Amino acid sequence: MQTQSTASRPDKKPADGRTDFDFFHGRWAVSHRRLRTRLADDTNWDMFGGTCDVRPILGGLGNVDDNVIELPGGAYRAATVRTFDPATKQWSIWWIDGRNPLTIDVPMRGSFEDGVGTFLCDDVFEGRPIRVRFLWSGITEKSARWEQAFSPDGGKTWETNWIMEFARQA
């Protein structure tokens, strides 16, 4: 005999976007490609490795990742916290850089559509107001791609300045 709490529980989670980052849970090897100088017409990229460990939090309404970023000048740690708001059907993303752990970046907000996640915020870079965009794409069981771009003109033009290619680890 079912109890009321199990009888009223749905068999699957709502299709409102809260599971959009479930693909990301687990351990990943990361190939980074980062523009050396941002918003300066630079075409030189640094390439380096890293790892990313992701786990769910808040009963599935969020996740947190722990990153090792192996910059050419030395490795550092960083973390991302993501939370989902069922009311707005949007994700918020906060970045915490281990080199300055007292500061949390301005949250990115957005959602997934047709397998691509688009997240935006207004921020300041080197004293200039900018628009920031994260794109998640190429998502499979074993891989994903993340890109960061800056816009100095309110989103009319974009400069992609960091690309991360994720490969799932066993």
For the chain, what is the domain count? 1
- What confidence score (pLDDT) does residue 15 get? 86
Domain annotation covers residue 108: yes
CA 135 to CA 76: how far, in whole Å?
Answer: 23
CA 2 to CA 53: how far, in whole Å?
Answer: 37
- What confidence score (pLDDT) does residue 13 get? 66
**pLDDT tens track, the chain, 170 positions:** 444 433 444 556 678 999 999 999 999 999 999 999 999 999 999 999 999 999 999 999 999 999 999 999 999 999 999 999 999 999 999 999 999 999 999 999 999 999 999 999 999 999 999 999 999 999 999 999 999 999 999 999 999 999 999 999 98
CATH code at position 103: 2.40.128.20
Domain annotation covers residue 5: no
- The domain of 47 spans 15-168
Domain annotation covers residue 28: yes
Domain annotation covers residue 9: no
Domain annotation covers residue 37: yes
